[in-house]
Amino acid sequence: MPHPPAMPAALRLAQHTRRVVLWTAALALVATAGCNGAGDGPPMQKPSAKGAPLHPVTYRPRLSGPGSGLQTDLKDHHGKPVKAPCRSCHDGKLPARKRNTGTSLKAFHVGLTMQHGRLSCLTCHNADNYDTLRLADSTPVPFDDLMQLCGQCHGPQKRDYDHGSHGGMTGYWDRTKGPRVRNQCVHCHDPHAPAYVGVVPGPRPKDRFLLNTSGGHGAGDHGAADHGAADHGAADHGAAPPKKPATHAPAQGGH
């Protein structure tokens, strides 16, 4: 049987080029879909066919409120709490670059526990401006931008946070219907000791509807547990209790 004529080299090259272009386009579409919503919470639903605008995603302020500083008992003329800037105390002291505990402090931050790897205070706090934090490359960041600071080391957690499987939120998944408010890292984790304390799971609670697994009216421990009697039917339906087996006293003087 004669062999078919060989395909011209130019035609083979054209077909190969076409396959490469198609595969490249497909991979680009997958990558684009995977990045949807990155840095702005979980992947968002597309706007409706009518082009409804998306409501914003906002982040809860830190527990101590926006900005840096130490909370005081004072209030300004608007009635808002007054904070003492960090630099008001730290600017007059030499940076303790190796300090990683608060046990020796006498004024502020007394008793602060530091359990965050081998980090020191000035790994994250900026000694050049104590009212800001610092990234690993010494770039200053404001206290309100904690997500950027934590995410530079905790990459997997930040990735899961961006896609909605880490960190809490309230509001709407579908942002065409309403806004969304997301937690920041410090709403769940202590930044100085972020690991959760280990817990031991306890036994599951008893469910009286699941105890009777056989489907019978008095099967399992349903009757005894819920009706206080050894025989469910006798105790709760007026039937005579079962007779106890007769017992015989031992004979006197015998073996």
* Cβ count within 10 A of residue 185: 21
Confidence of residue 230 (pLDDT cuts 50, 70, 90): very low
**Residue labelled with tokens 């202590």:** 190
Question: Per-residue pLDDT tens for 107-137?
Answer: 788 888 888 988 889 999 999 999 999 999 9
What pLDDT score was predicted for residue 161? 92
pTM (global) more than 0.85: no
pLDDT confidence tier of residue 62, bands split at 50, 70 and 90 = confident
CA 164 to chain CA mean position, Å: 9
Closest CA to 37 of 174, 129, 193, 185: 174
Query: 199 or 35, which is more confident?
Result: 199
How sure is the predictor about 43, in pLDDT bands with cuts at 50, 70 and 90?
A: very low
- Token pair 């025989």 is found at 231
> What band does 84 get if pLDDT is binned at 50, 70 and 90?
confident
Confidence of residue 221 (pLDDT cuts 50, 70, 90): very low
Q: Where are the domains of the chain?
A: 57-187
Q: According to the model, what pLDDT value does residue 50 have?
A: 61
Between CA 136 and CA 152 the distance in angstroms is 8
Average pLDDT over residues 146-167: 91
pLDDT of residue 47: 53
The whole-angstrom distance between residue 194's C-alpha and the CA centroid of its chain comes to 12
Please indicate whether residue 156 or residue 232 has the higher confidence score (pLDDT).
Answer: 156
Q: Confirm if 59 and 184 have CB atoms less than 8 A apart.
A: yes
- H or E element at residue 160: helix 155-162
* Contact between residue 84 and residue 64 where contact means Cβ atoms under 8 Å apart: no
Taking Cα atoms as reference points, which of 125, 117, 123, 119 lies closest to residue 108? 125
pLDDT at 53 over 60: yes
For residue 18, the model assigns a pLDDT of: 64
What pLDDT is stored for residue 23 in this prediction?
59
pLDDT, mean over the chain = 73
Percentage, residues of the chain above pLDDT 90: 20
Mean pLDDT, residues 135-142 taken together: 93
Buried b vs exposed e over 186-224: b needs ≥16 C-beta within 10 Å?
Answer: beebeebebeeeeeeeeeeeeeeeeebeeeeebeeebbe
Share of the chain above pLDDT 70, in %: 61
